Amino acid sequence: MASTQIKGLTLEEFLQQDYIDESPAYEYIDNQIIRKPMPKTHHSRIQVKLASLIESAVLKGNQVMAFTELRCTLCDRSIVPDILVVETDKIPLDEDGELENNAIFFSPIWTIEILSPNQTPTRVIDNILFCLENGTQLGWLIDSQEKIIMVFQPEKPLKIYRQDETLPIIENINLPITPNNIFSWLKIK
């Protein structure tokens, strides 16, 4: 992962840069600008399928939405989780009642990262922990190489889920899912 420190660039100045939302996106962490790695097939497949599955599993009347690659700026960081789930009453709307076409400036209730082969787990885990410290209820780190999912929750120890263990989900989403379910998407049947 390429990391460039730009001397004197504040978070506010970073957010004004045109290039930050190019694909792959740039993040601002500890006064450094870090470009996320370009996703590969495992990453892309899991991201598309899981975000779609979360959206379809939201219970009627529940006010949450899933987004992919949506910039989330909190405190002194601006990160772009692979998938995040937010409460709809926190999302700013424009004068027509449509979603504002912008980043969010609050914690998602659920953040999901999919580890890429050339990505360091430490930096990704740090982003998940940062979200948890700022109000996120659930964090997943999906590792398709190891076929595991690390689960982070406030005031609970890290837990690694394997094979047919049912993963924890946020309230009001009916989604009984296991690592085997998720990693099965990487096969063509």
Mean pLDDT within 83-108: 90
CATH number of the domain at 180, please: 3.90.1570.10
Q: Is residue 61 part of a domain?
A: yes
Tell me the C-alpha distance between 95 and 108, whole Å: 23
Structure confidence by residue, pLDDT tens digits, 124-135: 999 999 999 999
Structure confidence by residue, pLDDT tens digits, 75-85: 999 999 999 99
Q: Is residue 9 part of a domain?
A: no
Range of the domain at 57: 38-184
Q: How many domains does the chain have?
A: 1
Q: Is residue 30 part of a domain?
A: no
Mean pLDDT within 50-74: 89
Are 108 and 135 within 8 A, CB to CB?
Answer: no
Q: Is residue 3 part of a domain?
A: no
Structure confidence by residue, pLDDT tens digits, 133-178: 999 999 999 999 999 999 999 999 999 999 999 999 998 788 999 9
Tell me the C-alpha distance between 149 and 139, whole Å: 10
